[in-house]
């Protein structure tokens, strides 16, 4: 079977079956987006950017160009599918039908702040959901040189090699990851600081990657043991969540339920730590 059929993003022959074709399309689209992100990176100087309402919430020409490339690739192959993409380059941002049978969820640049400041932890994320269930997912991190993929029921892979979550059983031995919302200083918003204050004494240490999709992939491949964050959008987590699940991890909302895709908050773990970490992190804001 080809590298694509084995969970990679190779250029060889496609494996048989619809899942292989869908993963190949997702890989191709994510790769096009990643190439554009690299092409928009200047050899010297800062990347030009603007704010999206909040001063700290950035967007670049690279975001829009990468999204245009990704969505164009998807719709050229499957013109009747629905698309939810962050910047609305070809489709109205956020204006999708949640009841559509096939829905592509695209983040053309997850980790924009990292990208603008020259940090390598950013990625293109593409996932296909059918009737609300994830089918295929790709997270392509061009500066890290890594691609994570998953197909429903067929496992998760990093650069074509099967991955699995960690076997850590105790919070005291766990390396955890979290993030901070752009709206953290607005009235009535939970800035995650009190949650960190509760969790940090209980774990080995805490990291903040600056990309939710990469955080999820690092849970999936066992680099970190769990991750949580608040005020997330579907395109922040759609691909990484399937990769965690197919790596035998667990994904939930902060109440332990299933409202994580559109519910705005998530906890992902190796499964062994999930109950203890839910109690430590606390419920939804």
What are 125-151's pLDDT values in tens digits?
A: 999 999 889 999 999 999 999 999 999
pLDDT (0 to 100) of residue 34: 97
Q: Which residue has the tokens 């991955």?
A: 163
pLDDT (0 to 100) of residue 18: 92
φ/ψ of residue 120, rounded to 5: -80, -10
Q: How far is residue 146's CA from residue 73's CA, in Å, rounded to a whole number?
A: 21
pLDDT (0 to 100) of residue 195: 96
Q: Does the pLDDT value for residue 190 go beyond 50?
A: yes
Whole-prediction pTM: 0.89
Share of the chain above pLDDT 90, in %: 70
φ/ψ of residue 161, rounded to 5: -105, 130
What domain count does the chain have? 2
Q: Give the residue, 30 or 188, on which the prediction is more confident.
A: 30
Does 233 share its domain with 265?
yes
Q: How far is residue 221's CA from residue 148's CA, in Å, rounded to a whole number?
A: 9
CATH code for the domain in which residue 38 is found: 3.30.540.10
Does 189 share its domain with 272?
yes
Q: Give the residue, 99 or 284, on which the prediction is more confident.
A: 284
- Token readout for 9 is 């993003």
Q: What is the mean pLDDT of the chain?
A: 87
pLDDT (0 to 100) of residue 1: 29
pLDDT (0 to 100) of residue 15: 45
Does 44 share its domain with 157?
yes
Kindly state the average pLDDT of the residues 80-90: 75
Instruction: Report pLDDT digits (tens) over 192-232.
Output: 999 999 999 999 999 999 999 999 999 999 999 999 999 99
Q: How far is residue 88's CA from residue 64's CA, in Å, rounded to a whole number?
A: 8
Does 66 share its domain with 29?
yes
pLDDT (0 to 100) of residue 197: 96
Residue 252 placed within a domain: yes
Residue 10 placed within a domain: no
Q: Does the pLDDT value for residue 59 go beyond 70?
A: no
Q: How far is residue 176's CA from residue 225's CA, in Å, rounded to a whole number?
A: 6
Q: What range defines the domain where residue 231 resides?
A: 171-281
- The three-state secondary structure class of 137 is strand
Does 112 share its domain with 54?
yes
Q: Which of 57-61, 142-146, 270-274 has the lowest mean pLDDT?
A: 57-61
């Amino acid at each position: 079977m080809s590298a694509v059929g084995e969970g990679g993003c190779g250029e060889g022959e496609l494996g048989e079956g619809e899942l292989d074709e869908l993963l190949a399309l997702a890989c191709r689209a994510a790769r096009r987006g990643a190439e554009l992100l690299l092409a928009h990176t200047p050899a010297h100087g800062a990347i030009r950017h603007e704010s999206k309402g909040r001063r700290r919430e950035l967007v670049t020409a690279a975001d829009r160009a990468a999204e245009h490339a990704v969505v164009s690739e998807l719709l050229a192959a499957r013109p009747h599918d629905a698309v939810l993409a962050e910047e609305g380059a070809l489709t109205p941002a956020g204006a999708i039908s949640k009841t559509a049978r096939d829905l592509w969820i695209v983040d053309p640049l997850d980790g924009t702040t990292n990208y603008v400041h020259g940090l390598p932890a950013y990625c293109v994320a593409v996932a296909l959901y059918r009737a609300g269930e994830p089918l295929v997912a790709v997270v392509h991190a061009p500066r890290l040189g890594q691609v994570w993929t998953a197909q429903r029921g067929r496992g998760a892979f990093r650069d074509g090699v099967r991955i699995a979550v960690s076997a850590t059983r105790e919070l005291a031995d766990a390396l955890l990851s979290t993030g901070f919302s752009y709206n953290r200083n607005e009235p009535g918003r939970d800035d995650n600081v009190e949650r960190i204050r509760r969790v940090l004494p209980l774990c080995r240490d805490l990291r903040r990657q600056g990309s939710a999709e990469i955080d999820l992939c690092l849970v999936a491949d066992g680099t970190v043991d769990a991750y949580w964050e608040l005020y997330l959008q579907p395109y922040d987590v759609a691909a990484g969540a399937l990769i965690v699940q197919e790596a035998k991890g667990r994904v939930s909302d902060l109440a332990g339920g299933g409202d994580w895709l559109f519910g705005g908050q998530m906890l992902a773990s190796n499964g062994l730590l999930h109950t203890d970490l839910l109690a430590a992190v606390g419920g939804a804001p």
